[in-house]
A and B are shown apart, each in its own frame.
Chain A
Amino acid sequence: MSGGHHHDHGGGHHGHEPALHGHHHEPGFIGKYLFSVDHKVIGVQYTVTALVFLLVGFSMMLIMRWQLARPGEAVPLVGSLLSQLGITHAQTKALTNEGYNMLGAMHGTIMVFLGVVPLAVGGFGNYVMPLQIGAKDMAFPKLNMMSYWVYLSGGIVMMASFWANGGAAQSGWTSYPPLANTALSGQTWWLVGMVLLITSSLLGSVNFIVTIMHLRAKGLSMWRLPFFVWAQFVTAFLLLLAFPPLEAAGVMQLMDRVAGTSFFMPEGLIVSDKPTAWTGGGSPLLWQHLFWFLAHPEVYVLILPAMGIVGEIIANNTRKPLWGYTTLVYSIIFLGFMSFIVWAHHMYMTGMGTALSTFFQATTMIISVPSVIILTCFIISLYGARIRYNTPMLFALAFLPMFAIGGLTGLPLGLAASDIHLHDTYYVIGHFHYVVAPGTIIALFAGIYYWFPKVTGRRMSEFLGKLHFWPTLIGMNMVFGPMFFVGIVGVQRRLWTQTDYQLGQMTQYWVVFSSVGAAVLGLGQLPFIWNFFSSIFAGRKAEQNAWEATTLEWAAAPSPPPHGNFLADPVVVCGPYEYSVPGSPKDYCPQCQTSEA
């Protein structure tokens, strides 16, 4: 990557498709807002769809948290409705244990594959990245459109599986065979949905890579890229390289289920009290290897765009350059590489030998180092700053300690000896939720508040933003913090109720506390939903450079940007975060020469 100064492609000089297409005739309503090839419209489609899925996935969790706090009691409000789908009991209206497993599997799937990744990559990546590099659109606009529609189809298939015979998939978001192989038909729907979602991600990732490589504005060398673009670049490689093994595995499991193959089924399996004739020769652990080969890099697919967003917002609101930009970039590249060789730390309890587990323990400790460096860089960036406490900055700042908790609690899980006690307990749930919810999702909220004025030309309310921030931060900590203590005591995950167990009884008070936190978190989202929709129409008008920022999307593109993004081709003259340059009249120097509109 060093010496990246030599290739500077001008965005509009290659006569690529959007330039030909976009400027000559305006598409009609359907072409403009529905089947659009404009990266901004696709970005908004991704964002809105993913936000809806996040709300759906969160609502499922509220139902599960009700059951955990009040085992076997009727689910309020939606109890009767859900009994139609077998999720709640026909008479008692309480969540059934099948229903609990369905919601558990679907909550995980929805939050990761239909919520966070599409929002972080499909939403923010699609909308912001081309603007930040001064491109008129993505390299392959039609591929981009296809990526969205395949994603949406995958989402529809997933949701439709609730109406399948026996309901939605119940084998966890990890779908381990033989359980998943012998499960009811919801699992088949899940696999089809996954194949679609993976395909969508692959289409997106090649597009991102080519766009960042080839469509950068004149003067925008790799080492002048905003950190967010670097994060999307590394993320795209992770998606491209990690997803194919899971796509293969998904098809193999599908074949096991529908075509009589036995990739994952060992010999002598007893199903319904009888030995099966149709299994043999397969390995249940093969699935786990293929699954985690994706699913560990997937963690970084979630977290890297979040770090990118946080980097942008911290630089902008500290009014100073990011501390250690080069170190940050090398760190995320290193994270990307390492994320491919830590996957089996999810499998210490499968009977792995000590030689193999020593390797994976070592790589797991190594991968924690760049995370520590990234966090340290962000925190040192605050030193000597002039911090503006607006809503995006509050969320971005909250990301730092929350991600620290998520990252640090990965350490005892990453060592096989301490993992003996902690594996598959609530400690794990606490750990990865701190990475994904108070970590990634908090950063995604920061990004929504930050780029909303660019997308709509209007600002979101600061008051409602803060009314959203505090209950969100407090609620998330109430929900996930106690899980560490429940897990350390030794209570296992994925239980319909833990009150049958002695250790579960002794920690039930924390479970109730968590559920109260979930309610706080839920109520805390109401100001956001209101703020989001009302600001589209009635928010205070935003100027082009609403945050007095340096990067191209603010410095060179109107709010909202027109089709083709820029009124004149931007020419980049400096690095991304030239804030508070001594001797400069303003406290920011935009990356490009073109004057503000």
Chain B
Amino acid sequence: MSLLAQTQPMYWLPPDYSTHGWQIDQLINWMHVFMAVLFVGWGAFFTQCLVKYRYRRNPTALYEPIKAKASKVVEAAVVVIEVVLLVAFAIPVLAEYKNDPPKPEDNPFEVHVVAQQFAWNIHYPGPDGKFGKRNPKLVSDANSNPLGLDRDGDPDAKDDIVGNNEMHLPVGRPIIVKLTSKDVIHSFSVPMLRVKQDTVPGMEIPVWFTVKEGTSSDAIRETMIRTVAVPAAGANPRDFVLWCTNNIAVEDIKGSDGTVIVGKGREPSAEHLEALQKAGIGEIRVAPRHPVEIHCTQLCGITHYKMRGFVILMPPDEFETWYAEQAAGGDEFIEE
């Protein structure tokens, strides 16, 4: 793709939909201000020296060391600023993130995530609120039992809901995610919720967060609509395919005779190109299917790059409906 063809570029921190993320963002931003000031200060002195003390201009170099009080001031300032960043920002922010689990009276919603090469298994307790025991001996992807639940023998497991790569969550309610892995170390990362935690086999590690009230995946999608140019016939479709991958049309894309080429909610692809070109459509509007993505940030094997999941944020009432529907479906395995 050409350098200038970037649609909807992003330059800095991505949007944040968690209630705690602003503190992380604030720390990152202040650190960069500090770094920039230091760098520009150094750079100004450095550049001045390079120009002023070049060989021809300065006939003799200074033997005696200069008394540089300024350097002591700079070094002291660096120490003070680092102490402030550490003590006033970094440690409290982390303590809040790590040491304050949601209290039972806040009605937290707990969900388990079991990572495996190369998928995220999402384990919900079902209506009884109890998680079934996961038995490694019963694990079988082939039999659609990736977690090793004993649906018949374990009463807690009967109503458990198991999802694959799609994690539905209610907004505005504290969420506890307990993380583990079946095979290698993965890392559960949701940049747009400012959450990251390695998943380590043999360990169960919790993270918790709350998604801002009033938001939802549908609302976020509306903010991420982009226009993608349809390439001329015979031109390289690379950019078009790239910008449409995992995106959906935000409206029906119709030809001149009114036939729908790409339906609303469908992913445009190279197959649609010919029809789009024939219809003389110059550009189409798309948006991410699921805008909030789960990344695996730890190298986990051959198709690490494909280990992507989604967090689907729902208003609480919508979530309850969805949850009840899933529970009614029994042990149905939710495919992406």
Contact = CB atoms under 8 A, between A and B. Distances in A.
A492 B61 contact: no
Contacts of A320: 61-63
B92 to A, nearest CB: 8
A97 B28 contact: no
Contact of A580 (B10, B60, B200): B60
Interface string A256-295: 0000000000111111011100000001110000000000
Contacts of A368: 78, 82
B46 A400 contact: yes
A502 B243 CA distance: 9
Nearest to B87: A362
B324 interface: no
A490 interface: yes
Contacts of A493: 297, 299
Nearest to A350: B198
A411 B185 contact: no
B219 interface: no
Given A369-B79, A372-B75, A386-B55, A508 B1 contact: yes
Contacts of A126: none
Interface string B291-302: 101011111111
B168 interface: no
A382 B53 contact: yes
Contacts of B238: 70
B91 interface: yes
A266 B202 contact: yes
B49 A383 contact: yes
Interface residues of A, number: 106
Contacts of B304: 97, 101, 494-496
A365 interface: yes
B27 A505 contact: no
A490 B95 contact: no
Nearest to B184: A179
B55 A389 contact: yes
A415 B42 contact: no
B140 interface: yes
A382 B43 CA distance: 12
A529 interface: no
Interface stretch (B32-40, B102-110, B159-167, B313-321): B32-40
A383 B246 contact: no
Contacts of A177: 184
B98 A354 contact: yes
Q: Which of B202, B238, B288 has the most CB of A within 10 A?
A: B202
Interface residues of B, number: 105
Contacts of A497: 305
A502 B293 contact: yes
A422 B98 CA distance: 17
B194 to A, nearest CB: 6
Contact of A506 (B10, B63, B297): B10
Contact of B66 (A383, A423, A513): A383
Contacts of B66: 323, 380, 383-384
Contacts of B3: 509, 512-513, 516
B61 A501 contact: no
A160 interface: no
A269 B182 contact: yes
A502 to B, nearest CB: 5
A423 B296 CA distance: 12
Given A354-B94, A412-B28, A405 B12 contact: no
B299 A507 contact: no
B195 A508 contact: no
Interface string B43-71: 10110011001110011111101101001
B75 A97 contact: no
Nearest to B21: A421
Contact of A380 (B8, B12, B71): B71
B323 interface: no
A586 to B, nearest CB: 12
A507 B46 contact: no
Q: 7 closest pairs, A vs B, by CB?
A: A266-B202, A384-B62, A490-B191, A382-B49, A509-B6, A424-B297, A415-B90
5 contacts: A172-B299, A270-B183, A320-B61, A354-B91, A401-B42
Interface of B: 1, 3, 5-6, 8-14, 23-25, 27-28, 31-32, 34-35, 38-39, 42-43, 45-46, 49-50, 53-55, 58-63, 65-66, 68, 71, 74-75, 78-79, 82-83, 85-86, 89-91, 93-95, 97-99, 116, 136-137, 139-142, 182-185, 187, 189, 191-192, 194-198, 200-203, 205, 224, 238, 242-243, 245-246, 288, 291, 293, 295-306, 308
